[in-house]
Structures are given as structure tokens and as C-alpha cells.
């Protein structure tokens, strides 16, 4: 099992564009948003946070297709299904790595992003926590869609159609947590929900991903 971890880590580190692209996309999105719509007179009204979350959602969506694509096309995925004792764990690991390069990295940089969006200082902490808890859901639910479309040459539009409706709760609760005045768990129930959704998708989604990949492998 150790060598499998090592390999996943190497695959992430050596595929530098996969690390840079999502983060660069969010920064560019922030830039465009400010050029397009920000007016300096207005005080902060929360729509900037919503926009930031939408950018994170789309950045994740754009990176989703590559979760399994390279492994599928090179035949590593079929080796995993044929030879591995527990494909489940390896797939879990893969999605986790996808999260590291998208959601996790973006969460780490979120204070900077939020400042660029004009979010007041008091909300930076909340935004960070909300992103950190909310983004794993995006990766895991999204990977279900990716597992089904990986066998189709270009499944981009279909992937968006399958996945974006499922992102709605994360967007709503995430924005709400980001905007809350306090971060105490007892005071904001949306944080509970964000937690719940995250845990549920972490535990349930891998089963669906397994089934989806089996379908894609049988299509081959």
C-alpha cells in the first residue's frame, strides 16, 4: 500500500500544470471579476464572496476531468481493478489528491483571494474554514461525474451538467458560513450542514465512483 501512496504523490508533484492551473484560474477569475464589476464606492455586500465561491466551483469543475483521465488512458486504472486487493482505497486516494491540488490549495490561498475581492478582514477566517470544509465535497461528488465521463472522449459539457446541480448545497452553505459573524460551531448551523455534506460525500461517493469507473472500463 505504501508504494501506492508514493506513486500518487509523485504523480501529483510531477504533473505541475495540474497544480498550477486551478489556482491560476481562480486568480484570473478574481482579476476579471474586479475589472468587470467592482465599483469602489459601494461597500462590501457579500456578492463578492458568492463570486469567489462560484469561481472555486468552476475551477474544480475544470480540473475534474483530469482526476482519472490520464490513468484511464494509460491503462493504470484497469490494472488497479484487475490486480489491486482494494481498488476502493486507491480511488479514494486519487480523489483526495485531486482535492489537494484544487480545493486545498485554493483554501490555503483564500485569504489573499478574498482580500483581492474586497472581503473585509473579519471574514477571512470564516472563508478559509468554509472552503476547507466545503471543497472536499466538490472533489468527491465531482469525481462521480468524472468516473462516468472518463470513457467518453470529451465529456466536458456532460460533466458540468451532471455535477453542477450537486454543487448547489455546498455553494449555499459555504457562502453562508463565509459571511457569518462568528465561526463558533454552535452559532452557525450552516457549518454543521457543510460538515455533514462533506462527511457524507467522503464516505458514500467512493462507492459511486467505483461503480462509475467499472462502467467506463466496460465501455472500453
Partner 1 sequence: MKIKELWHRLGSPRWFFYYSGAWVRFFGVFALILLSVGFVWGLLFAPPEQYQGNSFRIFYIHLPAAILCQSLYLAMGVGGFVLYVWRMKLADILIAACLPLGMSLTVLALFTGAVWGKPTWGTWWEWDGRIVSTTVLLFLYIGIFAIREAISDSELRGKASGLVAMVGMINIPIIKYSVDWWTTLHQPATFTLTEKPAMPIEMWLPALVMVIGFYFFAAHNVLTRMRAEILRREAKTAWVKKLAVKMV
Partner 2 sequence: MLKLTDLVVLRDEARLFQPLNATLEAGGCVELLGPNGSGKSTLLRTMIGLHDQYEGTYECPDCFYQGHKLGLDDLMNPIENLEWFLGLEGSSFDEDSARKALARVNMVEYALVPCSRMSQGQKRRVSMVRWILSKRLAWILDEPFTLLDATGVRLVNELIQEKCEAGGLVVCATHLPLQVQEKKSIQLEALSGSQV
CB of 147 to partner 2, least distance (A): 15
CB of 26 to partner 2, least distance (A): 25
Residue among 193, 194, 37 nearest 107 (CA): 194
CA atoms within 13 A on the CB side of 140: 21
Q: Toward partner 1, which CB reaches closer, 58 or 164? A: 164
State the DSSP code for 100: I
Residue among 110, 160, 55 nearest 47 (CA): 55
CB of 50 to partner 1, least distance (A): 11
For helices 16-37 and 47-64, what crossing angle results, to 10°?
Answer: 150
> Are the CB atoms for 65 and 159 separated by under 8 Å?
yes
Task: Give which of partner 2, partner 1, none residue 148 binds (C-beta under 5 to 8 Å, depending on kind).
Answer: partner 1
Task: Give which of partner 2, partner 1, none residue 81 binds (C-beta under 5 to 8 Å, depending on kind).
Answer: partner 2
Q: Toward partner 1, which CB reaches closer, 184 or 218? A: 218
Distance (Å, whole) CA 47 – CA 51? 6
CB of 90 to partner 2, least distance (A): 8
CB of 116 to partner 2, least distance (A): 33
182 phi and psi, to 5 degrees?
-125, 165
Task: Give which of partner 1, partner 2, none residue 144 binds (C-beta under 5 to 8 Å, depending on kind).
Answer: partner 1
* Nine-digit cell string for 192: 454543521
Task: Give which of partner 2, partner 1, none residue 217 binds (C-beta under 5 to 8 Å, depending on kind).
Answer: partner 2
> Are the CB atoms for 194 and 170 separated by under 8 Å?
yes
Residues that bind partner 2 (CB under 8 A): 1-4, 6-7, 10-11, 14-15, 70-71, 73-76, 78-85, 90, 214, 217-218, 220
Q: Toward partner 1, which CB reaches closer, 19 or 166? A: 166
Amino acid at each position: 500500500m505504501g508504494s501506492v501512496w508514493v506513486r500518487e504523490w509523485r504523480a501529483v508533484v510531477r504533473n505541475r500544470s495540474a497544480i498550477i492551473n486551478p489556482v491560476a484560474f481562480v486568480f484570473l477569475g478574481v482579476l476579471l471579476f474586479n475589472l468587470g464589476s467592482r465599483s469602489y464606492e459601494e461597500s462590501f455586500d457579500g456578492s463578492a464572496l458568492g463570486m469567489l465561491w462560484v469561481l472555486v466551483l468552476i475551477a474544480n469543475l475544470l480540473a475534474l476531468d483530469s482526476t482519472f483521465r490520464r490513468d484511464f488512458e494509460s491503462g493504470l486504472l484497469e490494472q488497479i481493478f484487475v490486480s489491486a486487493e482494494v481498488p476502493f482505497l486507491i480511488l479514494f486516494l486519487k480523489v483526495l489528491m485531486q482535492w489537494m491540488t484544487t480545493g486545498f490549495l485554493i483554501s490555503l490561498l483564500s485569504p489573499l483571494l478574498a482580500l483581492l475581492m474586497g472581503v473585509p478582514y473579519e471574514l477571512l477566517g470564516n472563508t478559509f474554514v468554509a472552503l476547507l470544509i466545503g471543497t472536499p465535497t466538490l472533489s468527491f461528488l465531482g469525481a462521480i461525474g468524472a468516473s462516468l465521463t472518463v470513457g467518453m472522449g470529451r465529456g466536458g459539457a456532460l460533466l458540468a451538467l451532471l455535477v453542477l446541480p450537486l454543487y448547489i448545497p455546498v455553494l449555499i452553505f459555504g457562502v453562508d458560513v463565509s459571511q457569518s459573524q462568528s465561526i463558533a460551531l454552535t452559532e452557525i448551523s450552516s457549518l454543521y450542514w457543510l460538515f455533514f455534506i462533506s462527511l457524507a460525500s467522503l464516505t458514500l461517493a467512493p462507492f459511486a465512483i467505483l461503480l462509475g469507473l467499472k462502467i467506463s472500463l466496460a465501455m472500453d
